[in-house]
Amino acid sequence: MQEKKSIHGSWASRWVFILAATGSAVGLGNIWKFPYITGENGGGAFVLVYLLCIALVGIPIMIGEVFIGRRARQSPINALQDLAEESGSSKHWGAIGFMGMLAGVLIFSFYSVVAGWVLQYIFSTASGALNGVSSEQAGTLFNELLADPTTLLMWHTLFTIMVVGVVIGGVNAGLERATRIMMPALFVLLFVLFGYGMSTDGFAAGWSFMFDFDFSKLTWDAVLVAVGHSFFTLSLGMGSIMAYGSYMPKRASIGSTVLAIGFLDTLVALVAGLAIFPIIFSNGMDPAAGPGLMFISLPVAFGQMAGGQFFGTLFFILIGVAAWTSAISLLEPTVAYLVERVGMKRSSATISLGVVVWGMGILCLGSFNFMSDVTLFGKNVFDFLDYITANIMLPLGGIMVALFAGWVVKQKFSSDEINLKSEALFKLWVFVVKFIAPVAVGVVFILNL
């Protein structure tokens, strides 16, 4: 039988798929969000729940998304519909893909604002404006940035244009190169920062904050945040990985590839935490400072370190690239869908979507200044979107994918496509997506009500 190909192209090799999917996974979720939510939720016990979620729920669902995409070779909605029909079930399963597209738009709108902060910090660091800052000064500088909608708008606009530019170019051009060089560099710099953290007198405190489990500090809301973050950080539950899976070559093994991606993503998050918390504790800062945590702690560290102006600039550049390769994957499912279903040109589809997310982003950046009075369920627009996407939409999408992969798709299809070496491992996977993952996430949802 001739191999089915996606009309949008395909990755040159398994290695390129790993790069692209790692590019999607590793982003602001690891370096910005993971440390700040760990700080807000008390540390160790939260980290443990997060790690369990990655292993028990995230990895199996990622296998599900990749195989669904690769088998159907189409954008998520069409892939779900086709596979449902082939398996003798209802086309309505495609609805999961709609929710995913909406989640992608909503995530992009705040993601791009944070990426904008990163862009600003590239310049602040490079200009020397952050040299030798104290923690108070770093806090003031960050708050001044948030209070200035014009500057925020400029960076948010620039970032949106950068993302739209790459998505217009398509799945191979641009993305591949960005990931191949920048990801390894980001790793190296994270370790430099980790080394700096080790040299501070806050290292022991940082380490025990992250790894000493104190379950009395854990609330059900914190557990939900950990569950939600395991989806967010692996780019699951909204179709990004499914779309990327549809460009994956047939020969590549899904199981080991997914394990590699999950491992890298987790490693980056943990090292980022181990770099940031020692700085927090050695400077007497508050680990629960919220979304600004990275932006008030790193400048202090770079400001004190030898060569900090150089390393700091490079570091913010690399975080910007990581955010860029992730944001691309937020738009890809919808763009692929518009091209397939509505017959738009790739460029028009991307630009139209770009305008929508750009407009939504303005509401998010306004949350810190001209719209700070506007609240939904007691949260400003920025926090609200961050919360409902990661903690409700992605886990819900993820459970639906698990149920779909376990119950709806014919097992002959999944076992052929995933093609694990061991039959027992496959059985285990089926059991997890049928029962463990949906029940675990469902229980956490219910306990939060």
Instruction: Extract the tokens encoding 125.
Output: 């660091």
Selection from Na ion, ligand PHE, none that 238 binds (CB < 5 to 8 A by kind) is: ligand PHE
CA 317 to chain centre: 18
Instruction: Extract the tokens encoding 263.
Output: 């491992």
Q: How far is the CB of 235 from Na ion (least distance, A)?
A: 7
Runs of H (alpha helix) within 73-148: 76-86, 95-126, 135-146
Helix (H, G, I), strand (E, B) or coil at 88: coil
Count of residues in contact with ligand PHE, rule CB under 6 A: 15
Instruction: Extract the tokens encoding 96.
Output: 């999961």
Selection from Na ion, ligand PHE, none that 329 binds (CB < 5 to 8 A by kind) is: ligand PHE
Helix (H, G, I), strand (E, B) or coil at 379: strand
Q: How far is the CB of 46 from Na ion (least distance, A)?
A: 16
Query: Within positions 27 to 46, which residues make up the interface with Na ion, using CB under 5 A?
Result: 29-30
Query: Within positions 348 to 367, which residues make up the interface with Na ion, using CB under 5 A?
Result: none
Dihedral, CA of residue 234, residue 225, residue 98 and residue 347, to nearest 10: -50
Residue span 49-68 as binding mask against Na ion, x where in contact by CB under 5 A, dash where not: --------------------
Q: According to the binding rule CB under 6 A, does residue 326 interact with ligand PHE? A: yes
Instruction: Extract the tokens encoding 439.
Output: 């029940």
Query: Within positions 114 to 143, which residues make up the interface with ligand PHE, using CB under 6 A?
Result: none
What whole-number distance in Å separates Cα of residue 277 and Cα of residue 129? 23
Tell which one of 10, 16, 22, 29 touches ligand PHE (CB under 6 A). Answer: 29
Under 8 Å between Cβ of 46 and 38: yes
What whole-number distance in Å separates Cα of residue 354 and Cα of residue 359? 9
Residue span 360-379 as binding mask against ligand PHE, x where in contact by CB under 6 A, dash where not: --------------------
Q: How far is the CB of 19 from Na ion (least distance, A)?
A: 14
Task: Give the nearer residue to Na ion in terms of CB position, either 94 or 245.
Answer: 245
Q: How far is the CB of 26 from Na ion (least distance, A)?
A: 5
Tell which one of 10, 81, 233, 282 touches ligand PHE (CB under 6 A). Answer: 233
Residue span 219-258 as binding mask against Na ion, x where in contact by CB under 5 A, dash where not: --------------x-------------------------
Task: Give the nearer residue to Na ion in terms of CB position, either 265 or 386.
Answer: 265
Residue span 262-281 as binding mask against Na ion, x where in contact by CB under 5 A, dash where not: ---x----------------
DSSP code of 449?
-
CB atoms near residue 150 (< 10 Å):
7
Selection from ligand PHE, Na ion, none that 326 binds (CB < 5 to 8 A by kind) is: ligand PHE
Task: Give the nearer residue to ligand PHE in terms of CB position, either 28 or 349.
Answer: 28
What whole-number distance in Å separates Cα of residue 449 and Cα of residue 447? 6
Selection from ligand PHE, Na ion, none that 38 binds (CB < 5 to 8 A by kind) is: none
Q: According to the binding rule CB under 5 A, does residue 25 interact with Na ion? A: yes
Q: φ, ψ for residue 379 (rounded to 5)?
A: -120, 150
What whole-number distance in Å separates Cα of residue 316 and Cα of residue 306? 17
Under 8 Å between Cβ of 278 and 82: no
How many residues can be counted in the chain? Answer: 449
DSSP code of 344?
-
Task: Give the nearer residue to ligand PHE in terms of CB position, either 37 or 210.
Answer: 37
Count helices and strands in the chain by DSSP H and E runs: 22, 2
Query: Within positions 327 to 346, which residues make up the interface with ligand PHE, using CB under 6 A?
Result: 329-330
Query: Within positions 82 to 101, which residues make up the interface with ligand PHE, using CB under 6 A?
Result: none
Dihedral, CA of residue 161, residue 162, residue 164 and residue 165, to nearest 10: 110
Binding residues (CB under 5 A) for Na ion: these are: 25, 29-30, 233, 265
Binding residues (CB under 6 A) for ligand PHE: these are: 24-25, 27-30, 107, 232-233, 235, 238, 240, 326, 329-330
